[in-house]
Structure 1
Amino acid sequence: MKILAVVAALALSALPAAADAGPRWSVCAGSCSFDVPAGDYRIDVVLGGRDAGATGLDVEARRIALAPVATRAGQYVERSVTVEVRTPEGMPSGEDGPGTPGLQVRLTGPAPQPVRIAVTPEPKAPRVFVISDSTAADWTNLPKNGWAQALPEFFRAGPSVRNYAQSGASTVSYLDDPRYFARVRPMIRRGDTVLIQLAHNDKQTTEEVYRANLATLIAGVRDQGGMPVIVTPPVRHRFGADGKLTPLGLVVNNLGVDLPAVLRDVARQQKIPLLDLTARSRILLESLGEAESWPLYLTLAHDGVDDATHLSRYGAEQFATLVTRAMIEARLPLARFLRP
């Protein structure tokens, strides 16, 4: 698509929508909306303008589709990403509202420039499903952020990140509530990747039940032809006097079950890929130290609350970075779509 050739003639006003099967074009100077039904869409953008700037994109429920890209005065660059449009926009419970119909796009960055955007349906896009809890969820409202909310920014056009993480979800509730796995499972197509990270809310779940629930989730994904991938949970910001994370920080539950250790063992027994976010986030926090690692989470000074579990936007991006590095080391097929 030769986008740059038409930039000089571009008028800064919305353009008529193309036919439903083709791309819809618009110019976005702050935020814009595309009247499209639920599904997966490729977004092609031209970033830049007369002045120097740094422009990124958030879509739908504050999902980070593109980290800010710096451009010199008069420079234009192209970027592409694939995203999902759904109702509700955020968590599958809809507890934070249904959102706005269609695809919502907002410019981000310290000096965003007007952007020309094309939105094209991608019904056959490979998908990355996320089955998780609040630590990965799409949070519609500030200040909380989930690491999977930042995951789309790490992929070029191709896979659509379908984040169905739910605040408060455990392996028990994700299976029992019809809004969660019962909804996600029929969507999974052959070749789709399904990231399973449930642990933080399994506080009273016995090891036997936990293992059985994980086996049910894994079997459900496989029955649909999807590829299950185990992700161990991000650590909590809970330090001991020795400068190391406590058992609570390492997501050992109230019954003494080391949930990340169980996840590692289940992945080994089931012969499925493991992304060890617990180990990677532990190394990150302990290397930074208790004080220097607080900006990864919500703080009283910045967010009005000290929260040792939920992530800041910065923390979500850092933890998503850890997940993508693990994808590369695990040689997941979808890793070929990661931005260099």
Structure 2
Amino acid sequence: MKLLGLALAAAFTLGAAPADAAPRWTVCAGTCSFAVPAGDYEIEALLTGQTGLDVEARRIALAPVDTRPGRYVHRSVTVEVRTPEGMPSGEDGPGTPGLQVRLTGPAPRPARIIVTPKPKAPRIFVISDSTASDWTFPPKNGWAQALPEFFRAGPSVRNYAQSGASTVSYLADPRYFARVRPMIRPGDTVLIQLAHNDKQTTEDDYRANLATLLDGVRAQGGAPVVVTPPVRHRFGADGKLTPLGLVVNNLGVDLPAVLRDVARQRKLPLLDLTARSQVLVEGLGEAASWPLYLTLAHDGVDDATHLSRYGAEQFAALVARAMRQARLPVARFLRP
């Protein structure tokens, strides 16, 4: 295995790529930057020790591997570079130009990394709210922020989830759907999960807004996928999640139920994150499920809606499993 690792290292150093691919490589120790323009890129990494990769706005690109000294593991993933790096509002700043790569894990070791442009990569767009957002600064994390780690190289997860967004504001604000829609190419997968902030939206308006989003995606040739929202950490005395926990809004509209019905009527794929996260959270129980969310002891705040890094990874795993079971075309790129 050590010889294999050395061979891989040599291949990363000496291997040539087509001239128009313009690959760039470096040995990264901690944080490194690649001066590349906006677009999709494949990252190939030769990892050792207990090392993973985050990119851009704390997106989890590769989960840490665990190897013995002198042993190497080859991993690859496709990522998007954009400005702003985080949420489309840019409220947390534009970020740093180019592609930022940070080593993660309990005992990270220097990693050899190659970055290659992939302008024709298939894309997975995420239209959602803060529960899925790319949060530039801790402690909050979104489940789509962790989704790239479940895919091998191929599709780029383009996360345009915006904190505070509802079906109303995502359509009304020119920074959101008006920006995302022209990017969508035929065959792109578009995950739509908007519900948490539709607290005062009537059922009729909610259905109409969803129809506008779905029709807009289809008009671009994209493949819309309906995703129900993750549950909140709101328990009743019976040990079950309350209606607020199950994302029933202030008008009594069961938003996940509406999403299920819209998907059924339109014959669209449905990823029922509400049902899956309910099973996970209720199965753990009120106390044991708190680490999925932000807690006073660990994060300085008790937050029953937003996710910890651990929670984001767990909920992203539920989404990835649902994508596989729904047999979405991009599911063929999921890691085993």
| TM-score bracket, shorter-length normalisation | over 0.9
Q: Give the aligned partner of residue 38 of structure 1.
A: 38
Q: 1:205 and 2:207 equivalent?
A: no
User: In structure 2, what is the Cα distance between the partners aligned to 1:47 and 1:331?
Assistant: 31
Secondary structure of the residue aligned to 1:202 is coil
Shift of 1:254: 0.3
Q: Give the aligned partner of residue 5 of structure 1.
A: 7
Secondary structure of the residue aligned to 1:69 is coil
Shift of 1:113: 1.1
Shift of 1:63: 0.1
Q: Give the aligned partner of residue 138 of structure 2.
A: 142
Shift of 1:19: 6.6
Q: Give the aligned partner of residue 155 of structure 2.
A: 159
The list of structure 1 runs, each at least 4 consecutive aligned residues, that deviate by more than 6 angstroms after superposition, is 8-11
One-letter amino acid of the structure 2 residue matched with residue 102 of structure 1: G
User: In structure 2, what is the Cα distance between the partners aligned to 1:330 and 1:113?
Assistant: 37
User: In structure 2, what is the Cα distance between the partners aligned to 1:287 and 1:5?
Assistant: 46
Contact (CA 8 Å) 2:12, 2:114: kept in 1 or not?
Answer: no
Q: 1:111 and 2:107 equivalent?
A: yes
Aligned residues: 330
User: In structure 1, what is the Cα distance between the partners aligned to 2:52 and 2:94?
Assistant: 24
User: In structure 2, what is the Cα distance between the partners aligned to 1:56 and 1:82?
Assistant: 15
User: In structure 2, what is the Cα distance between the partners aligned to 1:266 and 1:182?
Assistant: 22
User: In structure 1, what is the Cα distance between the partners aligned to 2:11 and 2:143?
Assistant: 39
CA deviation map 1:266-293 (0-9, x unaligned): 0001110000000000000111000000
One-letter amino acid of the structure 1 residue matched with residue 80 of structure 2: E
Correspondences of 1:206-225 after superposition (within 5 Å): 206-225=202-221
With over 3 angstroms needed to count, the CA separation of the structure-2 counterparts of 1:10 and 1:88, relative to structure 1, is: closer
Q: Give the aligned partner of residue 15 of structure 1.
A: none
Q: Give the aligned partner of residue 278 of structure 2.
A: 282
Shift of 1:6: 5.7
CA deviation map 1:117-149 (0-9, x unaligned): 000000000000000000000000010000000
CA deviation map 1:54-83 (0-9, x unaligned): 100000000000000011111111100000
Q: Give the aligned partner of residue 25 of structure 2.
A: 25
With over 3 angstroms needed to count, the CA separation of the structure-2 counterparts of 1:291 and 1:183, relative to structure 1, is: same
Q: Give the aligned partner of residue 237 of structure 1.
A: 233
CA deviation map 1:78-105 (0-9, x unaligned): 1000000000000000000000000000
User: In structure 2, what is the Cα distance between the partners aligned to 1:299 and 1:145?
Assistant: 13
Correspondences of 1:1-340 after superposition (within 5 Å): 4-5=6-7, 7=9, 21-48=21-48, 53-340=49-336
Give the alignment's Cα RMSD to 1 decimal. 1.7
Q: How many percent of aligned residue pairs carry the same amino acid?
A: 85
Shift of 1:3: 8.3
One-letter amino acid of the structure 1 residue matched with residue 44 of structure 2: D
User: In structure 1, what is the Cα distance between the partners aligned to 2:326 and 2:25?
Assistant: 38
Shift of 1:21: 3.5
User: In structure 1, what is the Cα distance between the partners aligned to 2:240 and 2:73?
Assistant: 44
User: In structure 2, what is the Cα distance between the partners aligned to 1:130 and 1:272?
Assistant: 16
CA deviation map 1:239-261 (0-9, x unaligned): 00000000000000000000000
User: In structure 1, what is the Cα distance between the partners aligned to 2:178 and 2:5?
Assistant: 41
Shift of 1:22: 1.6
Secondary structure of the residue aligned to 2:66 is strand
User: In structure 2, what is the Cα distance between the partners aligned to 1:192 and 1:3?
Assistant: 36
* TM-score w.r.t. length of structure 1: 0.95
With over 3 angstroms needed to count, the CA separation of the structure-2 counterparts of 1:288 and 1:9, relative to structure 1, is: closer
User: In structure 2, what is the Cα distance between the partners aligned to 1:259 and 1:170?
Assistant: 12
Shift of 1:7: 2.2
Shift of 1:20: 6.9
Contact (CA 8 Å) 1:267, 1:274: kept in 2 or not?
Answer: yes
Unmatched 5+ residue regions in structure 2?
none
One-letter amino acid of the structure 1 residue matched with residue 47 of structure 2: L
Shift of 1:9: 9.9
Contact (CA 8 Å) 1:91, 1:138: kept in 2 or not?
Answer: yes
One-letter amino acid of the structure 2 residue matched with residue 306 of structure 1: D
User: In structure 1, what is the Cα distance between the partners aligned to 2:211 and 2:38?
Assistant: 30
* TM-score w.r.t. length of structure 2: 0.96
Shift of 1:10: 8.9
One-letter amino acid of the structure 1 residue matched with residue 276 of structure 2: R
Contact (CA 8 Å) 1:146, 1:310: kept in 2 or not?
Answer: yes
User: In structure 2, what is the Cα distance between the partners aligned to 1:295 and 1:172?
Assistant: 31
Secondary structure of the residue aligned to 1:58 is strand
